[in-house]
Amino acid sequence: MAMETTETARLADGALAYTLRRNPRSRGLRVTIDPRRGVIASVPPASRRGWARPEPLVEAFLVERERWVRRHLDRYARQLATLASRGAPEDGGLVRFRGTLHRIRIEPAPPGARRSSVERVGDAADDVLLIRQAPHDRRSPAVVLRDWCRDRASEAIERAVVAHAAALGVAPAALSIRDPRTRWGSASRQGRIMLSWRLVLAPPEALDTVVVHELSHLRVFGHGPRFWDLVETRRPDHRTWRRWLRTHAVELHGELDEDEVRAI
Protein backbone atom coordinates (compact mmCIF):
# COMPACT_ATOMS: atom_id res chain seq x y z
CA MET A 1 0.00 0.00 0.00
CA ALA A 2 1.34 3.43 -0.94
CA MET A 3 2.29 5.85 1.86
CA GLU A 4 2.10 9.61 1.33
CA THR A 5 3.64 12.66 2.96
CA THR A 6 3.58 16.36 2.06
CA GLU A 7 6.97 17.86 1.15
CA THR A 8 8.19 21.21 -0.16
CA ALA A 9 10.62 21.93 -3.00
CA ARG A 10 12.54 25.21 -3.22
CA LEU A 11 12.16 26.51 -6.77
CA ALA A 12 13.13 29.71 -8.56
CA ASP A 13 9.58 31.10 -8.50
CA GLY A 14 8.95 30.13 -4.89
CA ALA A 15 8.29 27.10 -2.71
CA LEU A 16 6.15 24.34 -4.19
CA ALA A 17 4.35 21.79 -2.03
CA TYR A 18 4.05 18.29 -3.43
CA THR A 19 2.91 14.84 -2.33
CA LEU A 20 5.65 12.25 -1.91
CA ARG A 21 4.11 8.84 -2.53
CA ARG A 22 6.10 5.73 -1.60
CA ASN A 23 4.75 2.93 -3.73
CA PRO A 24 6.08 -0.66 -3.49
CA ARG A 25 5.51 -1.04 -7.25
CA SER A 26 7.58 2.00 -8.20
CA ARG A 27 10.92 1.37 -9.90
CA GLY A 28 12.08 4.96 -9.95
CA LEU A 29 10.88 8.55 -9.79
CA ARG A 30 7.61 9.37 -11.53
CA VAL A 31 6.10 12.85 -11.31
CA THR A 32 2.47 13.48 -12.23
CA ILE A 33 0.16 16.48 -11.83
CA ASP A 34 -3.32 15.82 -10.49
CA PRO A 35 -5.86 18.56 -11.27
CA ARG A 36 -7.09 18.68 -7.67
CA ARG A 37 -4.13 17.40 -5.63
CA GLY A 38 -1.29 19.09 -7.47
CA VAL A 39 2.17 17.57 -7.93
CA ILE A 40 2.60 13.92 -6.92
CA ALA A 41 6.07 12.32 -6.89
CA SER A 42 5.94 8.53 -6.75
CA VAL A 43 9.10 6.72 -5.59
CA PRO A 44 10.04 3.24 -4.31
CA PRO A 45 9.84 2.46 -0.57
CA ALA A 46 12.56 3.78 1.76
CA SER A 47 13.76 0.21 2.26
CA ARG A 48 14.77 0.01 -1.42
CA ARG A 49 18.46 0.66 -1.90
CA GLY A 50 19.17 4.30 -2.77
CA TRP A 51 15.66 5.57 -1.94
CA ALA A 52 15.92 6.39 1.78
CA ARG A 53 15.99 10.16 1.01
CA PRO A 54 14.48 10.90 -2.42
CA GLU A 55 13.67 14.56 -1.70
CA PRO A 56 16.85 15.98 -3.34
CA LEU A 57 16.15 13.96 -6.49
CA VAL A 58 12.54 15.15 -6.61
CA GLU A 59 13.58 18.76 -6.06
CA ALA A 60 16.20 18.55 -8.82
CA PHE A 61 13.56 17.23 -11.21
CA LEU A 62 11.12 20.02 -10.29
CA VAL A 63 13.81 22.68 -10.63
CA GLU A 64 14.58 21.45 -14.14
CA ARG A 65 10.89 21.20 -15.15
CA GLU A 66 9.54 24.17 -13.18
CA ARG A 67 8.07 26.00 -16.18
CA TRP A 68 6.29 22.83 -17.33
CA VAL A 69 4.95 22.10 -13.84
CA ARG A 70 3.68 25.62 -13.15
CA ARG A 71 2.11 25.89 -16.60
CA HIS A 72 0.05 22.75 -15.97
CA LEU A 73 -0.86 23.80 -12.42
CA ASP A 74 -2.06 27.19 -13.69
CA ARG A 75 -4.09 25.60 -16.47
CA TYR A 76 -5.77 23.16 -14.09
CA ALA A 77 -6.52 25.98 -11.64
CA ARG A 78 -8.23 28.01 -14.38
CA GLN A 79 -10.29 25.03 -15.50
CA LEU A 80 -11.40 24.21 -11.96
CA ALA A 81 -12.33 27.86 -11.38
CA THR A 82 -14.42 27.83 -14.55
CA LEU A 83 -16.14 24.65 -13.43
CA ALA A 84 -16.85 26.12 -9.97
CA SER A 85 -18.31 29.27 -11.52
CA ARG A 86 -21.11 27.21 -13.08
CA GLY A 87 -22.55 26.42 -9.67
CA ALA A 88 -23.43 23.15 -8.00
CA PRO A 89 -25.60 20.60 -9.88
CA GLU A 90 -28.81 22.12 -8.54
CA ASP A 91 -31.49 24.51 -9.78
CA GLY A 92 -29.88 27.27 -11.84
CA GLY A 93 -26.52 25.54 -12.21
CA LEU A 94 -24.87 24.69 -15.51
CA VAL A 95 -23.70 21.30 -16.70
CA ARG A 96 -22.27 20.15 -20.02
CA PHE A 97 -24.21 17.49 -21.94
CA ARG A 98 -23.34 16.29 -25.46
CA GLY A 99 -20.81 19.11 -25.65
CA THR A 100 -23.24 21.95 -24.89
CA LEU A 101 -23.78 23.78 -21.61
CA HIS A 102 -27.29 23.21 -20.23
CA ARG A 103 -29.06 25.11 -17.46
CA ILE A 104 -30.48 22.87 -14.72
CA ARG A 105 -34.10 23.52 -13.85
CA ILE A 106 -35.99 21.68 -11.12
CA GLU A 107 -39.75 21.47 -10.68
CA PRO A 108 -42.13 19.07 -8.89
CA ALA A 109 -43.07 15.90 -10.72
CA PRO A 110 -46.71 15.42 -11.77
CA PRO A 111 -49.01 14.00 -9.06
CA GLY A 112 -48.61 10.25 -8.67
CA ALA A 113 -45.07 10.08 -10.08
CA ARG A 114 -43.00 7.69 -7.98
CA ARG A 115 -39.65 8.34 -9.61
CA SER A 116 -37.96 11.56 -10.65
CA SER A 117 -37.27 12.15 -14.34
CA VAL A 118 -35.05 14.30 -16.54
CA GLU A 119 -35.95 15.85 -19.88
CA ARG A 120 -33.76 17.80 -22.25
CA VAL A 121 -35.66 20.89 -23.39
CA GLY A 122 -34.87 24.32 -24.74
CA ASP A 123 -36.13 27.85 -24.31
CA ALA A 124 -35.24 31.27 -25.71
CA ALA A 125 -32.24 31.67 -23.42
CA ASP A 126 -30.78 28.23 -22.66
CA ASP A 127 -30.63 24.57 -23.42
CA VAL A 128 -32.20 23.08 -20.29
CA LEU A 129 -32.08 19.79 -18.40
CA LEU A 130 -35.43 19.76 -16.64
CA ILE A 131 -35.54 17.61 -13.51
CA ARG A 132 -39.02 16.70 -12.32
CA GLN A 133 -38.51 15.71 -8.69
CA ALA A 134 -40.89 13.07 -7.31
CA PRO A 135 -41.69 13.60 -3.60
CA HIS A 136 -41.02 9.97 -2.64
CA ASP A 137 -37.77 9.64 -4.62
CA ARG A 138 -35.00 9.83 -2.01
CA ARG A 139 -32.35 10.68 -4.58
CA SER A 140 -31.20 14.29 -4.64
CA PRO A 141 -31.65 16.18 -7.94
CA ALA A 142 -27.89 15.88 -8.49
CA VAL A 143 -27.99 12.10 -8.20
CA VAL A 144 -31.08 11.95 -10.42
CA LEU A 145 -29.18 13.90 -13.08
CA ARG A 146 -26.06 11.74 -12.74
CA ASP A 147 -28.10 8.53 -13.10
CA TRP A 148 -29.86 9.95 -16.15
CA CYS A 149 -26.56 10.89 -17.79
CA ARG A 150 -25.18 7.39 -17.20
CA ASP A 151 -28.26 5.87 -18.87
CA ARG A 152 -27.93 8.21 -21.85
CA ALA A 153 -24.24 7.31 -22.07
CA SER A 154 -25.02 3.59 -22.19
CA GLU A 155 -27.50 4.14 -25.01
CA ALA A 156 -25.14 6.37 -27.02
CA ILE A 157 -22.13 4.09 -26.57
CA GLU A 158 -24.08 0.97 -27.52
CA ARG A 159 -25.33 2.69 -30.69
CA ALA A 160 -21.78 3.71 -31.60
CA VAL A 161 -20.45 0.18 -31.02
CA VAL A 162 -23.15 -1.25 -33.29
CA ALA A 163 -22.40 1.39 -35.92
CA HIS A 164 -18.66 0.66 -36.10
CA ALA A 165 -17.91 -2.89 -34.92
CA ALA A 166 -18.92 -4.73 -38.10
CA ALA A 167 -17.13 -2.25 -40.37
CA LEU A 168 -13.94 -2.73 -38.32
CA GLY A 169 -14.37 -6.51 -38.41
CA VAL A 170 -14.61 -6.95 -34.63
CA ALA A 171 -17.19 -8.21 -32.13
CA PRO A 172 -16.64 -7.19 -28.51
CA ALA A 173 -16.97 -10.03 -26.02
CA ALA A 174 -18.29 -7.66 -23.35
CA LEU A 175 -19.02 -3.95 -22.94
CA SER A 176 -19.00 -2.13 -19.61
CA ILE A 177 -19.73 1.50 -18.75
CA ARG A 178 -17.69 2.83 -15.82
CA ASP A 179 -16.18 6.03 -14.39
CA PRO A 180 -12.38 5.76 -14.70
CA ARG A 181 -10.34 8.73 -13.57
CA THR A 182 -7.41 8.63 -15.97
CA ARG A 183 -8.76 7.30 -19.27
CA TRP A 184 -11.79 7.40 -21.50
CA GLY A 185 -11.80 3.72 -22.33
CA SER A 186 -9.84 0.49 -22.60
CA ALA A 187 -9.79 -2.75 -24.55
CA SER A 188 -8.45 -6.16 -23.46
CA ARG A 189 -6.99 -8.97 -25.53
CA GLN A 190 -9.99 -11.04 -24.44
CA GLY A 191 -12.25 -8.65 -26.38
CA ARG A 192 -13.67 -6.74 -23.42
CA ILE A 193 -14.36 -3.03 -23.94
CA MET A 194 -14.69 -0.47 -21.13
CA LEU A 195 -15.84 3.10 -21.76
CA SER A 196 -16.45 6.11 -19.52
CA TRP A 197 -20.02 7.31 -19.07
CA ARG A 198 -18.62 10.86 -19.01
CA LEU A 199 -18.18 10.70 -22.77
CA VAL A 200 -21.87 11.61 -23.05
CA LEU A 201 -20.95 15.03 -21.65
CA ALA A 202 -18.67 15.59 -24.66
CA PRO A 203 -19.75 16.25 -28.25
CA PRO A 204 -21.09 13.09 -29.96
CA GLU A 205 -18.09 13.12 -32.32
CA ALA A 206 -15.73 12.80 -29.36
CA LEU A 207 -17.67 9.85 -27.94
CA ASP A 208 -17.70 8.24 -31.37
CA THR A 209 -13.92 8.71 -31.70
CA VAL A 210 -13.20 6.92 -28.40
CA VAL A 211 -15.50 4.04 -29.34
CA VAL A 212 -13.68 3.63 -32.67
CA HIS A 213 -10.33 3.85 -30.86
CA GLU A 214 -11.14 1.02 -28.45
CA LEU A 215 -12.81 -1.17 -31.09
CA SER A 216 -9.73 -0.77 -33.28
CA HIS A 217 -7.60 -2.17 -30.46
CA LEU A 218 -9.45 -5.45 -30.82
CA ARG A 219 -7.65 -5.81 -34.15
CA VAL A 220 -4.40 -3.93 -33.53
CA PHE A 221 -2.88 -3.49 -30.09
CA GLY A 222 -0.44 -0.65 -29.59
CA HIS A 223 -0.50 2.75 -31.30
CA GLY A 224 1.61 2.19 -34.38
CA PRO A 225 0.84 3.30 -37.95
CA ARG A 226 -1.41 0.27 -38.62
CA PHE A 227 -3.57 1.18 -35.66
CA TRP A 228 -4.03 4.83 -36.63
CA ASP A 229 -4.68 3.88 -40.26
CA LEU A 230 -7.51 1.67 -39.01
CA VAL A 231 -8.96 4.42 -36.79
CA GLU A 232 -8.91 6.83 -39.74
CA THR A 233 -11.09 4.53 -41.82
CA ARG A 234 -13.95 5.37 -39.45
CA ARG A 235 -12.91 8.72 -37.93
CA PRO A 236 -10.58 10.68 -40.23
CA ASP A 237 -11.06 13.64 -37.85
CA HIS A 238 -9.97 11.69 -34.76
CA ARG A 239 -7.13 14.13 -33.98
CA THR A 240 -9.60 17.00 -33.58
CA TRP A 241 -11.75 15.13 -31.07
CA ARG A 242 -8.86 13.60 -29.15
CA ARG A 243 -7.53 17.15 -28.74
CA TRP A 244 -10.96 18.33 -27.56
CA LEU A 245 -11.03 15.62 -24.89
CA ARG A 246 -7.53 16.49 -23.69
CA THR A 247 -8.48 20.16 -23.44
CA HIS A 248 -11.70 19.47 -21.52
CA ALA A 249 -10.61 16.44 -19.45
CA VAL A 250 -10.51 18.29 -16.12
CA GLU A 251 -13.93 19.78 -16.77
CA LEU A 252 -15.60 16.50 -17.77
CA HIS A 253 -14.11 14.53 -14.88
CA GLY A 254 -15.27 17.27 -12.50
CA GLU A 255 -18.86 17.45 -13.77
CA LEU A 256 -21.27 15.62 -11.44
CA ASP A 257 -18.28 14.31 -9.49
CA GLU A 258 -19.34 11.51 -7.14
CA ASP A 259 -17.95 13.22 -4.03
CA GLU A 260 -19.58 16.51 -5.01
CA VAL A 261 -22.94 14.83 -5.66
CA ARG A 262 -22.78 12.96 -2.35
CA ALA A 263 -22.15 16.18 -0.44
CA ILE A 264 -25.22 17.99 -1.76
Whether 231 is covered by a domain: the verdict is yes
The enclosing domain of 241 has a CATH number of: 3.30.2010.10
Domain that holds residue 153: 139-263
Residues 76 and 150 in one domain: no
Residues 176 and 242 in one domain: yes
Whether 152 is covered by a domain: the verdict is yes
Position 181 scores a pLDDT of 83
pLDDT means per 10 residues in the chain (264 residues)? 91 96 94 93 94 96 97 92 89 94 95 95 83 94 95 98 97 96 93 97 98 98 96 98 95 79 46
pTM to 2 decimal places? 0.84
Position 264 scores a pLDDT of 44
Tell me how far CA of residue 102 lies from CA of 46, 75, 121, 247, 263, in angstroms: 49, 24, 9, 19, 22
Position 263 scores a pLDDT of 44
User: Which of 43, 67, 84 is the endpoint of a domain?
Assistant: 84
How far, in Å, CA of 199 to CA of 207, rounded?
A: 5
How far, in Å, CA of 99 to CA of 97, rounded?
A: 5
Residues 219 and 144 in one domain: yes
User: Which of 40, 55, 84 is the endpoint of a domain?
Assistant: 84
By CB atoms closer than 10 A (0-12, 13-18, 19+), residue 133 is middle
How far, in Å, CA of 236 to CA of 212, rounded?
A: 11
Residues 143 and 60 in one domain: no
